[in-house]
Structure 1
Amino acid sequence: MFRRKTPRIRSVLLSVALLAGASATLAVPSLADAAGGSSGTSKLVAIRTATHPGYDRLVFEFSGKLPSHTFVQWAPRIAHDGSGDTVPAAGNAFLQIGLGGVTGYTKNYASTFGPLRRSTGNQNLNEVVHAGEFEGMVSFGAALMARTSYSVLKLTKPSRVVIDIRNDYARTRVPVYFTNQATAETRSVWRDVPAGAPATGALHRMFAGPTAAESAAGVGNMLSKATGFTNLSISNGIARVRLTGGCSAGGGAFSIANQIDATLSHYPTVRWVKIYSPTGQTGAPTGNSDSLPTCLEP
């Protein structure tokens, strides 16, 4: 059982072995799952994001021609192109993106564009996830903090598909807790989240994980096999949240519970945090206390 510490901005010690062996990453379908591959000669070679005044920019760059066709549309979830399975993505709104007539993998099924999942840290765009390659279509999902509006541009020299997503929603900036692997402590980074639901936004930011630059600086994410969360509520000083996906502390004293506890305890209306397993179980569902599910107990 995790125990509340004072002050609320806390550090949680964990062993080097735990850092090395117990962290989890969100799964996405591998490129080797693609059926048949693409006959296109142009390859997707880079994905970039940046925040500009009023919008976040998502860029797909190609080594040859532009995609033969492109679609970008709002979706209730990110679907894997081929199986239709949900690809876990952390956000309040989602764009499904398809790029036709190009490929994103080598003949050995290695990615030509880098990581299949990337946290961006942009003002609205939270993460970009690969959603499969099937019948000549490379698919992605963009998880956003808020549903605003977007525009699509096609540029040449080099060939690029550019999606500009408005970031002028009502927002606030809050700390989100990850793992500092260099000092064996939790560590906060600051993120923009919707002003009307900052705690929900903070957890979406946590599940997206640190950016590439933050990871290079030693910031990690201990997800304990969870892929997301649902049913977040805050009432009478108690925050309740249910994990989705998996749940396992791996026998370690540090788990996703420490990051969730630190992230939610930032809010003055939260005195205790009760975390539920994907099946709805927690150790102390009633009473003024923190609570863990059995799957997160050391």
Structure 2
Amino acid sequence: MRVPRKLLSLLSLALVPALVPALVTSPGAGAMEPVVSAAPPTPVLVAVRAAHRGQWDRVVFEFEGGLPADRRVEYVDRLFADGSGRRVRVAGQAILRVRFEPAQAHTDDGSPTAAPRRVAFPLPNVLTAVRAGDFEAVTTYGLGLAKRTRVRVTTLQAPPRVVVEVRAGFPTVQRRVWFFHRDRFVENREPFFVPVRRLVRPAAPAAGVLDRLFAGPLPGERERGLRLLRSGATGYDDLTIAGGVADVRLTGRCRSGGSTVTVAGEVLPALHQFATVDRVVLRDPTGATLDPDGPGDSTPECLEP
């Protein structure tokens, strides 16, 4: 019997839904399962510590989850924050930038790790480590140094560590640096500024104590209530000592906030400890000060209560 062509077309359409699922879902020798490969974990920076060994200052960056594949260490004139591009305050006469990629200084839920954002060290050359970025799997630190010297970088395992060693084979002497004592101020117990000892280069001790000042107190000193009272300043510049006068200009901003205690309480005694200094002239970032030619110390108007 001859089947009309139109009927054959209808029968073909009716069979397609039954056949197609079988072709798609039936397992066979050539069937392939999708393969999903997990991305390698991003190394997490969990600690930054430092010590002096022999003629070297060693800064150790400890990670969990392996070592960053890319590790770059270089001297820079200034340090800028990753992402924002803002300048980052780093104390010292030289800045060593340390960049890790991929790496992060936070957990997967966004919580910060124990790696410090800013920490001071009592070492001959390395004054401080300051984080400049934890952004898009890139972690950056700036090391503030007393002097630009030779650098070498090594890695260690168990746990994964990157060791940045900075040459520190030069003489040092101990000098005093004053910090604001928060607890004494709250309790109204003078003195509100107390000295601690730091190593500085004898070739430039005045600059050395100011560098140590703006590096801030050590972690143990912070636990005792010591703080760097910056009054908005980010550092100093144009330091000269001549004719018994130490003249120095603050950088950044300058404000007292209406307080009777300011950064002047740290800078003035730090410079007065030197026998060649009879008077200190402290200037604001524009170079202004209240009494530059007077018989005593001079501070800027921005530090007045």
TM-score of the pair, normalised by structure 1: 0.83
Pair 1:116 & 2:117 matched: yes
Q: How does 1:282-297 map to 2 (within 5 A)?
A: 282-297=289-304
Pick one of 260, 263, 279 that aligns with 1:256.
Answer: 263
Pick one of 221, 228, 250 that aligns with 1:221.
Answer: 228
Between stretches 65-74 and 78-87, larger displacement belongs to 78-87
Q: Report how far residue 182 of structure 1 moved.
A: 4.0
Q: Report how far residue 135 of structure 1 moved.
A: 3.6
Counterpart of 2:35 in structure 1 is none
More helix by share: 2
Counterpart of 2:195 in structure 1 is 188
Contact 2:290 2:299 in 1 (8 A): yes
Counterpart of 1:51 in structure 2 is 52
Contact 1:40 1:101 in 2 (8 A): no
Q: Report how far residue 296 of structure 1 moved.
A: 0.3
SS at match of 1:269: coil
Overall identity of the aligned pairs, in %: 38
- Cα offsets for 1:57-101 (capped at 9, x unmatched): 101111111001100011112222334432110001110110111
- Cα offsets for 1:212-252 (capped at 9, x unmatched): 01111222221111111111111111111111112111112
SS at match of 1:203: helix
Between stretches 38-47 and 224-233, larger displacement belongs to 38-47
Pair 1:133 & 2:153 matched: no
Counterpart of 2:275 in structure 1 is 268
Greater relative CO, 1 or 2 (CA 8 Å, sep 6+): 1
Paired AA for residue 54 in structure 1:
Q
Q: Matched residues in 1 for 2:276 and 2:42: separation?
A: 56
SS at match of 1:179: strand
Paired AA for residue 69 in structure 1:
D
Q: Matched residues in 2 for 1:159 and 1:67: separation?
A: 9
Contact 1:41 1:103 in 2 (8 A): yes
Counterpart of 1:76 in structure 2 is 77
Contact 1:39 1:102 in 2 (8 A): no
Contact 1:60 1:162 in 2 (8 A): yes
Counterpart of 2:208 in structure 1 is 201
Q: How does 1:33-48 map to 2 (within 5 A)?
A: 40-48=41-49
Q: Matched residues in 1 for 2:53 and 2:195: separation?
A: 24
Q: Report how far residue 179 of structure 1 moved.
A: 2.0
Contact 1:148 1:169 in 2 (8 A): no
Between stretches 206-215 and 71-80, larger displacement belongs to 71-80
Counterpart of 2:174 in structure 1 is 173
Q: Report how far residue 40 of structure 1 moved.
A: 4.7
Task: Name the CA shift for 1:274/1:110 in 2 (closer, same or farther; >3 Å).
Answer: farther
Q: Gaps (5+ residues) in structure 2?
A: 1-38, 185-189
Q: Report how far residue 134 of structure 1 moved.
A: 3.4
Pair 1:66 & 2:67 matched: yes
Q: Gaps (5+ residues) in structure 1?
A: 1-37
Pair 1:158 & 2:165 matched: no
Contact 1:39 1:101 in 2 (8 A): no
Q: Matched residues in 2 for 1:217 and 1:73: separation?
A: 35
Pair 1:244 & 2:245 matched: no
Q: Matched residues in 1 for 2:59 and 2:297: separation?
A: 40
- Cα offsets for 1:124-171 (capped at 9, x unmatched): 110000011334211110001111212111111110001111111232
Counterpart of 1:25 in structure 2 is none
Contact 1:146 1:169 in 2 (8 A): no
SS at match of 2:81: coil
SS at match of 1:102: coil
Q: Matched residues in 2 for 1:140 and 1:113: separation?
A: 15
SS at match of 1:103: coil
- Matched length: 261
Task: Name the CA shift for 1:57/1:119 in 2 (closer, same or farther; >3 Å).
Answer: same
